[in-house]
Amino acid sequence: MQRRSLLQGAAAAALGLPGLSGLAQQTVTLKFHTFMAPQSNVWLTMHKAWMDKVEKDSGGRIKFEGYPAMQLGGTPVQLYDQARDGVVDVVWTLPGNTAGRFPRIEVFELPFMMNNAEATSKALWEYYQTHAADEFKDTHVLALQVHGPGMFHSATKPIKSPADLKGMKVRGPTRPVTKMLGSLGAIPVGMPLPQIPDALSKGTIDACVIPWEVVPSVKVHELTKYHSEFDNTGGALYTTTFVMTMNKARYDGLAPDLKKVIDANSGMATSGLVGQDAAGQRRAGPQGHGRPRQHHHPDRQRRARAVHQAVQPRRRRVDRRCRQAWLQRQGPAGRRQGADRQARQGLIASPHRLARPACGEFKSGRGVPIGAVWSPWLHPLAQPRQHRACPSTHSRSWRRCSATWATG
């Protein structure tokens, strides 16, 4: 009897333990699908970073197959339905791609609602849980976020005021943004992000609104000449909401410990983290591409004027020494010629003024005198503005061309 019991126990262990071990060591592979390009900052520093963290936290039991740029087929508009229907497991997309389908989320896309992407992303998650949970009831939502401050990128002319938008064909990402553009006098054109390069190159649109962090992925810095930012203290021109969501059946089928891994990398904290990533990438945009920008920063302009007023006496002393050194190198004839030239230009009687140097030749005492070595780049608060007759605003040859500075 005892021998029979031992045999039965051994048989049960032989049949049962592999099943239990398999359940405990379940390994799953999830397909992550999005419209962002594989070289984009969003894909490289946000999506891949999130997938790598989930894989690490799961001890390698959750694996991801990443498919950027709609590599699994379909259009950006269809991404949410792909996750709902189980075509893919996880997607990252814009709810606003399907106008009117997620109306409650659109409140976060109203103008001047956002000035901090991380805080606004956390607020969006809280708002979703308390007021809009039924918006995404067909899927398991992992995170909600907004991008960095939206701004204008124009291929035809600088945008300094609403009057400049009149008659311009401007791409907008969502219904609230296109309504805003229309109310400002522009001709709004709604289209997904991947279509922007072709539309700009063909002249289908004159400008677009996107944040800095996605500019490189669609080569907007190569296709446009003018970029207009807004003062963040007054709120960004606009922002766009994004959702990272998972097929509900796929989530429900995970082992309990793997569900905990997914849950630990979801929710408000994760929403704030991806929003923070978007805000951090913003600074890489304008400086990395050397494109002239329009600035709408009244507070920054006032601070810049104060800085320049403080350093102006020192600048005059430096400029005077530079002029004297240059004249000494020219010899007697050069000194006489230089003195005559300065007298004609009014540089001796009236030292050059700081505000708004003229583009091209330095005349009437405006701009940096010949031989001066002071550069506006030494002052971080000085912000260059594009002069229409000056395509090379960022040129280092300040004797040939100068920028119009946002200090006047």
CB of 233 closer than 8 Å to CB of 21: no
In a shared domain, residues 165 and 76: no
In a shared domain, residues 272 and 223: no
Domain membership of residue 1 (yes or no) is no
- Reported as a single tens digit per residue, the pLDDT across 287-336 is 444 444 554 445 555 555 565 566 556 556 655 666 666 666 666 666 56
In a shared domain, residues 259 and 110: yes
* pTM value > 0.75: no
Domain membership of residue 9 (yes or no) is no
Q: What is the CATH number of the domain that holds 187?
A: 3.40.190.10
253 CB-near residues (< 8 Å, 6+ apart): none
In a shared domain, residues 34 and 137: yes
In a shared domain, residues 139 and 253: yes
Q: What is the amino acid identity at position 360?
A: G
In a shared domain, residues 268 and 234: no
Query: In this structure, are strands 207-210 and 169-172 parallel, antiparallel, or unpaired?
Result: parallel
In a shared domain, residues 73 and 58: yes
In a shared domain, residues 392 and 314: yes
User: Total domain count for the chain?
Assistant: 3
CB of 280 closer than 8 Å to CB of 212: no
pLDDT at 152 (0 to 100): 96
122 CB-near residues (< 8 Å, 6+ apart): 268, 271, 272, 275
In a shared domain, residues 136 and 251: yes
In a shared domain, residues 122 and 209: no
Structural domain for 181, as ranges: 151-238
More confident call, 62 vs 375? 62
33 CB-near residues (< 8 Å, 6+ apart): 67, 70, 71, 72, 79, 82, 83, 88, 90, 91
- Reported as a single tens digit per residue, the pLDDT across 202-239 is 999 999 999 988 898 899 999 999 999 888 778 899 99
In a shared domain, residues 253 and 196: no
CB of 262 closer than 8 Å to CB of 270: no
